[in-house]
Structure 1
């Protein structure tokens, strides 16, 4: 049997959550589970009700996205973990494409490109992410982290046992917990493989955290970069060859 992939959807007062859930349920990959972690929502919870028989629904006190993701990971039964924000959408073949690649290449982590969509589900910037060469891109990914974060968190699929080494998401970063984890993954020696396909629709809208909390996000990013980039630069100097 193919390995199980757990898709974790953190949810907090988000009207778009039915679109996210349906896209997770519509995956062509045959062995998935969908966990929706309600992070203490006070609104929009009724929108989850029609899906209760098809998902695992867990409610917890509000603590932020990192705590919701970690809670979902703790309750997951899959060997691989994927994360889907409640206002974004997986394309139907998303998990299939990444698992085919990861199993064929023994990849512990993979990420992909993505399309940017608006509040009405219309794509307005295709291929929004940084593109890497289709072959021999492992060192290129590492080097890119010295200047920018090239990874959209909802494109990630990660083998669950990687987190036994790196630890899970850091709740101390309310908005950039994923960025912190990517550095820890890289510095632990786990290669992050890029797949040159757009596999999700990432939503840009006025109510998103990315739009509302820019100053806090920039502050957290600066903290992470100041700490990790010198360490990563030294790591690259000591690891001149990537296979």
Structure 2
């Protein structure tokens, strides 16, 4: 076995915004890795809780603080402050499993042309208990860029181990994005380089009420903008164009279902203003992919007229906003 000093350094960047109550678990999960050479960089994105106090309990850890700029900017700050040849970006409320870095490093050794390698994850509850179900595997095209046009097949960002030079070649994360910055990065990386996938279980994704993915209208609007930025790269390639359209539909279905549940919740609780706003976002972003009969069945009469008006407006504009030119 190679001496530990012969192994390349892996930097684990942990952005944190008001997740001090989870941060120690994230740090401890990195310290428990079987891989011998690790650098931990915690980026405090303007937290108002005890994030600094938690981070400073750990000697040797690099702690950076910046004004609140969002997850993408925090990850970029960690990228620039780090020194490792490889990087993992671990959210402060999640955990790595002990063999995660070793498995990713081995995979990239076997695939030297790949920009990053990723594996599997499992869900945990807010208290850290492992949840019984595993995320579903989905079939995908063999071409990495085509696969990511259809959806975010990494799903949990902390399972990805990146080559440092690959991140700098594409300029890191787009700090203008407040969500979906990981998906945008995968699309930009895979336009020019392959990626590697392996079957090792690497990380634990915590499910709790403050996850950003709970905000379906905002998430859907952003992911459609991210996909729309790829239009010039799919024109002239029928396979890419078909996967682009499939991805647009899949994202609308995924977040549209979440918005439909929110509309029904608002109706049950008689929150008519919130129901109308969510309904407006549903039709503006999802258009004809929403099953009209189910919506009409779910809504009381006082919202049906609003639904019909929104449908008429959405039918004229929603599809034009995201389809390839």
Instruction: State the TM-score, normalized to the length of structure 1.
Output: 0.88
Distance in 1 (CA, whole Å) between partners of 2:75 and 2:107 is: 24
1:49-104: CA deviations, max 9, x gaps?
Answer: 322x1311111111011111100111111011110000000001000011011112
Aligned ranges for residues 216-227 of structure 1 at < 5 Å? 216-227=218-229
Out of 171, 195, 199, the position equivalent to 2:198 is: 195
Point out the structure with the larger helix share. Answer: 2
Provide the residue aligned with 2:49 in structure 1. 43
Per residue, is there more strand in 1 or in 2? Answer: 1
Larger Rg: 2
Query: Which residue of structure 1 aligns with residue 276 of structure 2?
Result: none
Q: Contact 2:43–2:64 (CA<8 Å) still a contact in 1?
A: yes
CA drift at 1:230: 6.1
- Measured after TM superposition, the shift of residue 129 of structure 1 is 5.0
Q: What displacement does 1:214 show?
A: 2.5
Moved over 6 A (4+): none
**Aligned mate of 1:170, from 168, 174, 178:** 174
Whole-Å Cα distance in 2 between the matches of residues 192 and 127 of structure 1? Answer: 23
Distance in 1 (CA, whole Å) between partners of 2:15 and 2:46 is 10
Helix, strand or coil: the match of 2:65? strand
Instruction: Please say if residues 38 and 59 of structure 1, whose CA atoms lie closer than 8 Å, have aligned partners that are also in contact.
Output: yes
In the alignment, what sits opposite 2:137?
Answer: 130
Q: Which runs of 5+ in 2 are unaligned?
A: 1-5, 241-325
Q: Is the 8 A contact 1:132 1:196 kept in 2?
A: no
1:60 paired with 2:62, answer no
Partner of 1:241: none
d(CA) in 2 for partners of 1:17, 1:132: 34
* Residue 22 of structure 1: aligned partner: 28
Q: Which residue is 2:97 aligned to? A: 91
Which runs of 5 or more residues in structure 1 are unaligned? 239-243
> Distance in 1 between the 2:238 and 2:165 partners?
24
Structure 1 residues 34 and 4 mapped into 2: Cα distance closer, same or farther (>3 Å)?
A: same
CA shift for structure 1 position 142:
3.3
Q: Tell me which of the two structures has the higher relative contact order, counting C-alpha pairs closer than 8 angstroms and 6 or more residues apart.
A: 1
Q: Could you tell me how far apart the structure 1 residues matched to 2:133 and 2:33 are?
A: 21
Q: Structure 2 CA distance, aligned partners of 1:87 and 1:233?
A: 39
Judged with a 3 Å threshold, the aligned counterparts in structure 2 of structure 1 residues 143 and 125 are, in CA distance, closer, same or farther, namely: farther
d(CA) in 1 for partners of 2:238 and 2:82? 34
Match of 1:109 in 2: 116
